[in-house]
Amino acid sequence: GDNYIHHGESVLGLPEWSYCDQRACANIMLSVIDKEFLQRELKYFADGIVHEIQGIFREQEAILQDHLVKPMQAQQLQAQQLQQMQVEQMKSQQLQTQQLQQMHAQQMHAQEIQSQQLQHIHAQQVQAQQLQAQMQANIQFLIQDAESRKLELSTAGEPRASAEHKKRHSFDGQCHPKKYGKTGANYVNDCEGAGCAGCGPGLGLASLLGGTQAPCLRNTALKVEQPTPGQPPARKDLKEFTELCVTDPGVDILLSANETGADNSQRQALENMAGEIGLQLGIAAAEIMKAYDLFIFADSDHSGKLDAHEVRPLLDKMTGVAISDLDFMRVLLACDKDSDGQINFEEFLFCYCNTPEKKIQHLSEWVWQTTGRLPAECRTKVSGVRMCAVKGYLSKEIKEMSACQIIPLIFMLFFVFVLFIEGHGGSLVINGTDEAYKFDIEENANFAFSGIAPFQNGRIGHKNVYDVNTFADFWSWFDLGLLPLLFPESWDVSEMRANLAARCQAPGDAMIAAGEPQTNNLSVASEAHRSAAFSNDLGGLCAELGPQPVPPSEFFRKPPYLFFNSIVAGLRMRQEQVEFRECGLHSLEHRVFDSACMEDPGHWILPDLDQAMGMDKSRVNKPGAETQYLLSQTNQTGIRQQLRELENKAWLNQRTGKIELLYTTYNAHKHLFTSLYIYVFVNRAGHLHKFVKPISLWMNPYESLFSYIVDASFVAMVLYLFFSESKDILGSVRRKGLKSGCLNYFRSFKNVVDWLSIIYSFIIFGMWALYVGTVSQLRLSLEKASTSQPGSWADPADRSSYFELVDELNAESLQFQTICAFYPFMIGARFFSAFSGQPRLAMVTDTLIAAATDVLHFGVVLMSLVLIYSVSALILFGRDVDGFENMGRSFMSVCRGLLGDIDYDALTRIGRPVAGCWFLTFMFLLQLLMLNMLLAIIFDVYSEVKGAVSADAETFWTQSYEIFNRWNEKRKGERFDFSYILEILEEEEADFITETSFRQIVKGLPKHQAEQILLAADAYDPAHSANAKDGADAATRSLNLRAQHLQLMVRSLVASQP
């Protein structure tokens, strides 16, 4: 093959080769070959072979990857996809099988129901056919019997019957009283004989008609259906008049006068029972008493019974219509139960109920009562609509329209209130200001510096206000941390320049700046010693520090606080000092203690804001603990000297219970007045609680015209609601009197909520006026201040009254803030009250009302468990865990735990087994079980309420559109206002009202509006839903109605016979 020879390294540092034949290569190799060269050549050769082999392996691997591995991966992926498809197909088949089984079961169930319904319908049809056959038989019998009555009375009064009549009745000369029919059938005489002679006086029809004898008729009275046994009669306004005022004769309601006559006591007894009797007979109590008076008047012989000729004029007078002979005969046959030919008072009531006019009246009421029998249009025109239903419908519509119309006004009231709060509150600016003050005190008022103050510049303070744990810490924090912040003297410089300035300060100057007075030793020392005390070891280097910063005179006429805030008056420092008391356990005195005892000021835990703000004036400004004022425009040296004096005389001691620092500033850029309160609470355990609260207020509540517009709108809306509600309550008082009108008005929860919100609004107006007045007083006080005067006022009394006014204003501000925070809930109550007038919006309120009873009872159980766990947590964790220190905080911590906000790691401080047992039972019983039960109760009621709302119930926008259309038609004069119509109908006492009578009562009422109101009232009438039955009951009512019509037809046919 080819041969190559190496010539050393090429220019690029790579081996250089050249071509030669075998002989030349061999000669060259023999001349230059050595061991080192051979090793290097072998290495190059081996590296080349390895590189070639690796290349071949990579190529083979790539080929294997392309032709073997990738196809296998594709096949595996395809197999997985096929497997997933098979699983999904199997699931789909199982689901289809389950659906088919469910459908089959539903079909079987539907077939069973349909079979039962068919059997029920078949039974009803059979019953109807039997009833119809019976009625046809009765009609045929009555017609034949009427024809057989064509008899002639002889002059002697004896009857003459035809042969056919005698044959059919088989007269044998004897009278046999018999009872025909079942319950409610009438007793008549079945006279067997030629003329019923010898039957005795009063036993024949002639006695009933006023004669001596009369032909005997067999079962000529109409059969009247009785009420279903076991069912008490319904009230008259809901009674289904399937029987025509005929009750069970077995019921003893004999109320006739006795043989000696009726007296007032009997009439009183009847009057007491008239209502119950009226329910049985389907007539009014007044009709019963009228019948009784007429009966007593006609019973001249006081026998308690009337003859036929006495009964007929009474019936004419009761009904107001003359009764025909045939109808009178029918009534007597139907009601003379004892067949003695005379009528007692009980039988007289039955006679009155069976008169044709009373039956027609009952039939009219029954037609109205049978919903679905006639179309609504026909029913409202034939029998009319109940007056109470019309009034109820109009009241409901007025209420819903009022609720729908008030919703926009309430939204506007809520929006205006938000503008009122934003305009006068300015939460964004106030929050930023308060946060700046609090951050400055907490982060920049430091002490425990690493440098030796005052001889060195403090490089870093390791403690802040919350590290003040002793009285010495308090003075250190006040001197080194708080004082430089609240009483600035110069423009702050960078840290390096501050270090240089501190290094160049002489020791004597540093001590004087720290508040230490020049001692007598310094004043009498020689000039050399004074020079050493007030000189620096740097010599003339300090004189070459260079110029100091010059602050802008526009903003730094007086040193400000936090760049933009002017200091007003300075700082007030006062404390509460408790009194001495007698120590208990005198046996231990001088054995384990020998100090005096003091009252307990409390403060065992960090107080809340409402407890922290303010001071007990009876404990303030005591001898030795006088209120101190650190005046503005005073240098830090003078204030430090004042602090040294307070520290030296132990202004803070064991009698101190509470310390208050008040510092006030004014921001002219935003017209913002800020009060910074710093409280330190000292409990009898020796611990100091710290509390920092800045309060910022606007000194110009009405900065723009927009604020006046918002407030005027707010007041105008509340006044509109006030006058509107006053008009309603005055109308109620005018209609029902003062006491009854007020009770009836405030019986509605909506009216109570409306007046509570109005009263709450007036409270807000009053507190706002009081607050604005106090701000005006503060402005007048500030107008007397001066920036050049230390403490802003020359008179200490003015300064003291200024701080008192600041306290009063801040207290009013916090109270007003709390009152306003609850006002949205009052508006929210009006929201829910207005939503109750709209079916779909009322679902939430209806759910809360419907579930109130269950939730209240469930709440008793839930609250019991919460109290149990609160007391248990107080005992277990009260000594070790924050949030369980007393019963109130323990209760709130348990309530927070219901929502999952509980720190289990903190609970384990008392031991994991006990804490774990308490926590697990708490989670299971309260969080998992009780809360889910509460949700289940509410969801269950909500499902019922939602199911009760029909699918076609009005939406809010459709109701709004309807109200607009009514307003538009009223504007055009095409309809009357519902309130006007209801006011007229309130004076009417009619039971039913038709379209014609409606338009007669309300003069000028348009016909279409009358029709709409009556149809809507008929659909609204709750009596329809109260009497709604299933299909079988409806079929029975239909058959009974047909029977009633057949009876009327029979009466007409009998009356038409010659």
Q: What is the pLDDT of residue 504?
A: 77
Q: What is the pLDDT of residue 842?
A: 80
**Contact present, 205 and 214 (Cβ < 8 Å):** yes
Strands 187-192 and 174-179: antiparallel
Q: How confident is the model at residue 456 (pLDDT cuts 50, 70, 90)?
A: low
- pLDDT: which is higher, 999 or 573: 573
pLDDT in tens, 610-626: 888 889 999 999 998 99
Q: What is the pLDDT of residue 313?
A: 85
Q: How confident is the model at residue 828 (pLDDT cuts 50, 70, 90)?
A: confident
Q: How confident is the model at residue 584 (pLDDT cuts 50, 70, 90)?
A: confident
- pLDDT: which is higher, 67 or 898: 898
Q: Specify the range with the lowest mean pLDDT, choosing from 128-132, 308-312, 362-366, 406-410.
A: 362-366
Q: What is the pLDDT of residue 149?
A: 47
Q: What is the pLDDT of residue 311?
A: 84
What is the C-alpha to C-alpha distance for residues 298 and 310, in angstroms, rounded to an integer?
A: 7
Distances (CA, A) of 873 to 603, 879, 900: 22, 10, 16
pLDDT in tens, 990-1043: 777 888 888 888 888 888 888 888 888 887 777 655 444 444 454 454 455 455
Does an H or E element contain 662, and which? strand 656-667
Contacts of 445 (CB under 8 A, 6+ apart): 464, 465, 477, 481, 482, 485
Q: What is the pLDDT of residue 293?
A: 85
Average pLDDT over residues 942-953: 79
Give me the phi and psi of 528, to 5 degrees please: -65, -45
What is the C-alpha to C-alpha distance for residues 907 and 918, in angstroms, rounded to an integer?
A: 9
Percent of the chain beyond pLDDT 70?
72
Q: Cis bond leading into 1022, ω under 30°?
A: no
Give me the phi and psi of 49, to 5 degrees please: -65, -45
Average pLDDT over residues 350-358: 81
pLDDT in tens, 839-896: 778 888 888 888 989 999 999 999 999 999 999 999 999 988 988 989 999 999 999 9
Placement of tokens 């109750």 in the chain: 836
Contacts of 244 (CB under 8 A, 6+ apart): 224, 353, 354, 358, 359, 362, 363, 1044
Angle value at C-alpha 573, between 567 and 578, nearest 5 degrees: 160
pLDDT in tens, 882-934: 889 899 999 999 999 988 888 899 999 889 999 999 999 999 999 899 999 99
Tokens at 296, concatenated: 């007593």
Tokens at 437, concatenated: 């003050």
SS3 category, 880 = coil
Question: Residue type for 431, please?
Answer: N
Q: Report the DSSP beta bridge partners of residue 696.
A: 674
- Residue 278 confidence (pLDDT) above 80: no
Q: What is the pLDDT of residue 229?
A: 38
Q: Report the DSSP beta bridge partners of residue 689.
A: 681
- Residue 210 confidence (pLDDT) above 80: no
pLDDT in tens, 317-353: 888 778 887 788 778 777 776 667 788 888 888 888 8
Tokens at 232, concatenated: 């008490």
- Residue 808 confidence (pLDDT) above 90: yes
Average pLDDT over residues 493-516: 74
Question: Residue type for 929, please?
Answer: L
Does an H or E element contain 7, and which? strand 3-9
Let me know how many helices (H) and strands (E) the chain has, helices first: 38, 17
Q: What is the pLDDT of residue 208?
A: 31
Nearest residue to 380 (alpha-carbon basis) of 1042, 1017, 1030, 1039: 1017
Query: How many residues can be counted in the chain?
Result: 1058
Percent of the chain beyond pLDDT 90?
25
Other CB atoms closer than 10 Å to residue 39's CB: what's the count? 10
Cα within 13 Å of Cα(141), Cβ side:
15
- Residue 383 confidence (pLDDT) above 60: yes
Complete DSSP assignment for 587-617: GGBTTTB-S-EE-----SS---HHHHSS--G
Complete DSSP assignment for 788-842: TSTTS-SSHHHHHHHHHHHHHHHHHHHHHHHHHHHHHHHHHHHHHHHHTTSTTTH
pLDDT in tens, 419-448: 999 888 888 899 999 999 999 999 999 998
pTM for the model stands at 0.59
